[in-house]
Amino acid sequence: MEEISLTEKDMLLLEKLQANCRKSLKDIAKEVDMPMSTVHEKIKRFEKNGVIKNYRALLDEKKVGFGVTAFIMASTEYIRGERTFQRNIGERVSSLPYVLETHTLSGDWDLIIKVKFKNVHELGKFVNERIRTLPGISKTVTMVSIDEIKEDTVLKLR
């Protein structure tokens, strides 16, 4: 993946957009001390080259009934002849509902999967019926978060 060269103003603009992308171009331009047309062009360029991947609303999971956050560690079995088996299994896991993140790992575990559920019963059912039954998953360990200290989507750029 190609890294994009960012100026100090670019990083400031991206930080402002991460904090609140619903602000008007006029307000954002004022905050970053750039003309509105420049801000608009930079945003379009960031969208085109993939620096800005998407825009979405961040929900308060607890207010919509999803009070259980868990991390599932999974080991995979080598599938003969398949060089990218770990990634392929991760992609299958990622397509399941309630999966917010899936990462391939080095070390003792092959995947870490972040999920959110309404209750531990639904979590247990998901692990037993959806994760452990996937071809290529050999074992799992599920860790339930008991206290969220920080969860954020804002990347500090400078």
The rounded mean pLDDT for the chain is: 93
Nearest to 73 by CA among 145, 141, 149, 155: 141
Q: What is the DSSP string of 58-124?
A: PP-GGGGT--EEEEEEEEEPPPTT-TTHHHHHHHHHHTSTTEEEEEE-SSS-SEEEEEEESSHHHHH
Map out the domains of the chain with their CATH numbers.
8-48 (1.10.10.10), 61-144 (3.30.70.920)
Residue 49: predicted pLDDT? 94
Token duo for residue 36: 């509105």
Residue pointed to by tokens 């972040």: 114
1 band by pLDDT with thresholds 50, 70 and 90: low
Q: What is the pLDDT of residue 84?
A: 64
pLDDT at residue 86, as a whole number: 87
Instruction: Tell me the per-residue pLDDT of 70-125, one tens digit each, with 9 for 90 and over.
Output: 999 999 987 676 666 889 999 999 999 999 999 999 999 999 999 999 999 999 99
State the pLDDT at residue 158.
87
pLDDT in tens, 143-157: 999 999 999 888 999
Q: What is the pLDDT of residue 82?
A: 66
Rg (C-alpha) for the chain, rounded Å, is 20
pLDDT at position 77: 85
Whether the pLDDT of residue 51 is over 80: the answer is: yes
Q: Which DSSP string do the residues of 35-71 spell out, in sequence order?
A: -HHHHHHHHHHHHHTTSS----PPP-GGGGT--EEEE
